[in-house]
Amino acid sequence: MSTIKKNILFILALLCLGECIAQNAVQDFKMINNTYVKNELLSMDIEYIYYQDENSKIATETKKGSFKKSGKNILSSLIGITTIQNERYMWMIDNENKVIVVSKPKISFDMTMISSIDSMLKVCSSVDFKELSKKEHSYQLNFNKNSDNYKSISVIYNADTYFLNNITISFREPVLTDVNNEASVKKIPKLKIQYSNINTKPNLSSISFSEQKYFEVKDQKIFGKGQYKEYTFINNILANEK
């Protein structure tokens, strides 16, 4: 697993606010979340840029991905994992390890990670707001020393549309520059996530969200199709029926 893939797992709750955050910040983050929720059709490109040293201008690793949405249908390609959802199933494809996890679909799919506003109340020390331009605003969330992973998270968004432009995560603790060599130098890393080519009227075919070329389900058993016959399938359908 690549360094960027390991670090991106930390963003699952990255846009949460604290008691220290002013009410206008809370409202702005809710507006961002609502923007992604209300648009039934949506597509965008996403780029993950990892820096071993937060002070460096040269990226160590870059990963490109995308996100598409048509109602409750989802197609995302992020950090080597493809996730597809339709009205019947949600499946996550790990081509590197040839594994597909199949589950029942989620009611909603929060791509922005902004919905859990209250969960970091106790670890946020301050928040700085900047009006970078008339169309671009930013918040920097600064975390106190009780926060295990993050030193700060900077969020830049379009002040007119409330779509995200980019997110920058500064980690607190230094890590090995070579994960396979414990004698290597330790640096504090930084991860930047950029959003571009946002389209609220994409032409998306229903075939893009179909499981037909991947697998079929018979009597709660999953059978791979074509090249995916050789993949290992993890069946979470029954576990998610509650």
Q: What's the pLDDT tens digit per position in 156-214?
A: 999 999 999 999 989 988 888 888 888 889 999 999 999 999 999 999 999 999 999 99
User: pLDDT digits over 73-96, tens only?
Assistant: 999 998 889 999 999 999 999 999
Please tell me the least confidently modeled range out of 1-15, 85-99, 134-148, 165-179.
Answer: 1-15
- What pLDDT does 48 receive? 93
Token pair for residue 66? 């995308």
DSSP string across 97-148: TTEEEEEPPPS---SS--S-TTTTTTTEEEEEEEE-SSSEEEEEEEE-TT-S
Query: 110-115: long-range contacts (C-beta < 8 A, 24 or more apart)?
Result: 110/33, 110/36, 111/36, 111/67, 111/69, 111/76, 112/15, 112/32, 112/33, 112/36, 112/164, 113/11, 113/12, 113/13, 113/14, 113/15, 114/15, 114/16, 114/29, 114/30, 114/32, 114/33, 114/36, 115/33
> 122 pLDDT band (50/70/90 cuts)?
low
pLDDT value at 19 more than 50 = no
User: Does the reported pTM lie above 0.85?
Assistant: no
- Higher pLDDT pick, 175 / 112: 175
Mind listing the pLDDT tens digit for each residue in 45-62? 999 999 999 999 999 999
Answer yes or no: are the C-beta atoms of 214 and 100 closer than 8 Å.
Answer: yes
pLDDT of residue 56: 92
* 8 Å CB contact between 108 and 91: no
